[in-house]
Amino acid sequence: MTAYDDLMAHQRETQALSQIAGRLGWDQETMMPRGAAPQRAEEMAALEGVLHARRTAPQVADWLEAVDAAALDDVGRANLRHIRRDTERASKVPAALAARIARVTSQAQGIWAEARADNDFKAFAPTLTEVLALKREEGQALAVGGDVYDAMLADYEPGTTGAELEAMFGALRPELSALRAAVLEAEAPAKLDHAFDEGAQMKLTRQLAKAFGYDMSNGRVDKAVHPFSSGSGLDVRITTRTSERDPFNCFYSTIHEVGHAAYEQNINRDYLLTPLGRGVSMGVHESQSRIYENQIGRSRAFTGWLFGQMKDAFGDFGVADEDTFYKIVNRVNDGFIRTEADELQYNLHVLLRFDLERALVSHDLQVADLEAAWNDRFEADFGYPVDKASNGVLQDVHWSVGLIGYFPTYSLGNVYAGCLNEAMRRAVPDLDSQLAQGDTSAATTWLGANLQTHGGLYEPRDIIEKASGVVPSEAPLLAYLKEKFSTLYNL
């Protein structure tokens, strides 16, 4: 066996153990008994210790040194790129710190959930302070004197800096705010006013998952407080949630998570349990979930089909026709919750979080002042006050589990989706006629062939440029949003 063969055999075992850790996380969100949290924290810490040791094992460096990169093909060189990057990052973080972060964030998740249920940020603040201190320590180790937030961001979007995102988001925010103001002055569509059986919602949501290409033989749909996708390769699971008065919460959360899951399921199977066998970044991942949810799932064509499915599932629910239904699906609503926000306002929720977490990392904002800072910024951006912590600073799980640097990838994913949508529409000019029949296969096949199958073969922005034919920018997203909402609201 060559050094490359030995390296990849070691890597496959490491990837397999990482998948097990992910499954423990899925279980913690869906089925784990509440009282098991302390034990689960120790299990997660133990696994993280094993993974850290494997990533930093001396023989990995020896194999990397011994491999002749010139003798490898593109796939081999891409594997080396990922392994070298992961090894260098892991080697900078002390094993004890990595295990402590795993333990504390596992415990913090339960503390956050209780504080959220009680609307009590002060009960969570000491834990968040500890998580933030540990993540800062990790970021400082990774940055080696450079920008700490950029080092954190690299875990989710390699090759992108906070300054680049600040410039992109700085271009987005005034345009979105102006469009939002114009929309809010116009006459709004009606709202849904009906009770929707939650069992029937789950039946239809599984139908939607299959309609978007989710392979249920390698996945499953469960319920959780915070919808998410977990796993890769042959075991990719999603969760959703139901609300009796808001079935869109269930349906579009499902379509969103199917976008993530389909990306993982459609990666070239030759890459299974290798560095290329997973989504290349969270921004690219979000491009898939957002284009599935919005440009496809909220389109006039697809909502026309969905209207018929809902009539079959629920009977008459008070909506007269497909056009009215389309307007209701895309209605710009007041609301506090990021995951429930309409397309127009969603990015404003993300930019708030991006600015606050950068301020937390740089010590410009203290945890004790975070709730007030959140509430002030929210009222300035949206025009009404936060009514309770679970609708504000406690609504998202991300900071409790140490995902600092993750939030901006949501808006970056929207930007990427805007680029991909333009290219997809050019490539499939009759797409709407197919979507009107509930057939998403032309769209999902195009995305699968042009982006998803490649997994981690290319760098994040490179795969978006390769698939869309343009250098990623916010311009296509803004053009799409302006055209859609100007038409919807007769601006």
Active site residues: 257
Write the Ramachandran bin of 223: left for phi over 0, alpha for psi from -120 to 50, otherwise beta: beta
Closest CA to 257 of 200, 214, 225: 214
Instruction: Give me 208's structure tokens.
Output: 């939607």
Of 271, 288, 279, the closest CA to residue 460 belongs to 279
**Nearest C-alpha neighbor of 414 from the set 73, 175, 221:** 175
Pure H helices in 320-474: 322-329, 343-361, 370-382, 408-427, 431-435, 441-450, 460-468
Phi, psi of 231 (to 5 degrees): 100, 175
Determine phi and psi for 198, rounding to 5 degrees. Answer: -75, -30
- Greatest CA separation for the chain: 70
Q: How far apart are CA 258 and CA 264, in angstroms?
A: 10
The secondary element (H helix, E strand) that includes residue 303 is helix 300-314
* Non-local CB neighbours of 329 within 8 Å, separated by 6+ positions: 248, 298, 303, 306
